[in-house]
């Protein structure tokens, strides 16, 4: 993809949505019941302090140490939060079942 999207005047440039990794691992515990309502101020992001904030608050700081169970928990937390943002409600058990049955 980098070879194809390499010039802004032709096909465009490929950008990585940073700090996406930090936003996915901004869990203070597993499970993190408050994750669904967690927000960060625009000022924190503009000042480049979000990565530092996650470094202080995240229960699991080193993403290289995530195992399958932790990855599944992170995915489920983010699916639930996405549903909540889109639909203003969620059924955690239903979402977990959908995920485990690969119905997304």
Rounded average pLDDT over 77-95: 80
Q: Which residue has the higher pLDDT, 17 or 90?
A: 90
Digit-coded pLDDT (tens) for 51-72:
899 999 999 888 888 999 898 8
What phi, psi does 73 have (nearest 5°)? -65, -45
Q: Kindly state the tokens that stand for 101.
A: 């049955």
Rounded average pLDDT over 10-21: 70
Rounded average pLDDT over 11-23: 70
Residue 97 pLDDT class (50, 70, 90 cuts): confident
Q: Which residue has the higher pLDDT, 34 or 16?
A: 34
Q: What is the pTM of this model?
A: 0.68
Residue with tokens 């399958």: 68
| CA 92 – CA 101 distance, rounded (Å) | 14
Q: Domain segments of the chain: what residues?
A: 16-100
Rounded average pLDDT over 7-35: 80
| CA 66 – CA 81 distance, rounded (Å) | 20
The H-or-E segment that residue 6 falls in is: strand 6-7
Q: Is 36:67 a contact under the CB 8 Å cutoff?
A: no
Q: Kindly state the tokens that stand for 104.
A: 């997304």
């Amino acid at each position: 993809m980098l070879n194809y999207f390499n010039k802004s005047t032709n096909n465009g440039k490929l950008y990585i949505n940073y700090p996406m990794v930090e936003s996915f691992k901004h869990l203070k515990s597993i499970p993190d019941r408050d994750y669904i309502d967690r927000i960060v101020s625009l000022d924190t992001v503009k000042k480049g302090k979000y990565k530092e904030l996650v470094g202080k608050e995240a229960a699991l700081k080193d993403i290289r140490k995530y195992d399958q169970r932790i990855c599944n928990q992170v995915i489920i937390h983010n699916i639930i939060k996405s549903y909540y943002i889109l639909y203003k409600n969620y059924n955690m058990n239903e979402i977990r079942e959908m995920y485990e049955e690969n119905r997304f």
